[in-house]
Amino acid sequence: MAKCLVIMLAIMALIVNPVCSISCQDAITKILPCEFYLLGVGSPSASCCQAVAQLSQLASSKPELKSLCVCLKQAAQTFHVIADKAKQLPGLCHVTTPVPIDPNINCDM
């Protein structure tokens, strides 16, 4: 599964152009500690929550937020993230995110 994930990360990095200070590949790599939770296994780990907190601070301008939103939305669809798990993540981690974590979000805020 890890090899598949690395290949998908590389593909996602080529598909989405980075507009902000973090590339799409870096954003996906940063959120990897949440992988099992987002796919329906267990609860978010401390490292997952730390990653969510860090990721939520990386984008501040509207173009950066949109770029990050599009990147994560495409990754969520590619990796078949469970939407309800994604939506619950900020609350479970006690983190406020600038945009909802939702694979179905409209990124044209």
Rg (CA), the chain: 13
Question: Band of the pLDDT at 102, cuts 50, 70, 90?
Answer: confident
Residue 61 confidence (pLDDT) = 82
Q: Is 62 exposed, middle or buried (0-12, 13-18, 19+ CB in 10 A)?
A: exposed
Q: Tens digits of per-residue pLDDT, 9-58?
A: 444 443 444 444 678 888 889 999 999 999 999 999 999 999 999 888 87
> Is residue 34 within 8 Å of 89, Cβ to Cβ?
yes
CATH of the domain at 66: 1.10.110.10
Q: Has residue 33 been placed in a domain?
A: yes
Domain residue limits at 13: 2-93
Total domains present in the chain: 1
DSSP string, 39-93: TTSS---HHHHHHHHHHHTT--SHHHHHHHHHHHHHHHHHTT--HHHHHHHHHHH
Q: Has residue 74 been placed in a domain?
A: yes
Furthest-apart CA pair in the chain: how many Å? 34
Of residues 5 and 53, more confidence is placed in: 53
Q: Has residue 54 been placed in a domain?
A: yes
Classified as helix, coil or strand, 17 is coil
Which DSSP symbol is given to 62?
A: H
Classified as helix, coil or strand, 68 is helix
What amino acid is encoded at 17 in this protein? N
Q: Has residue 26 been placed in a domain?
A: yes
Q: Has residue 64 been placed in a domain?
A: yes
Please state the rounded mean pLDDT for residues 74-85.
91
Name the pTM for this structure: 0.75
Of residues 92 and 57, more confidence is placed in: 92
Q: Indicate whether 85 pLDDT > 50.
A: yes
Q: Has residue 21 been placed in a domain?
A: yes
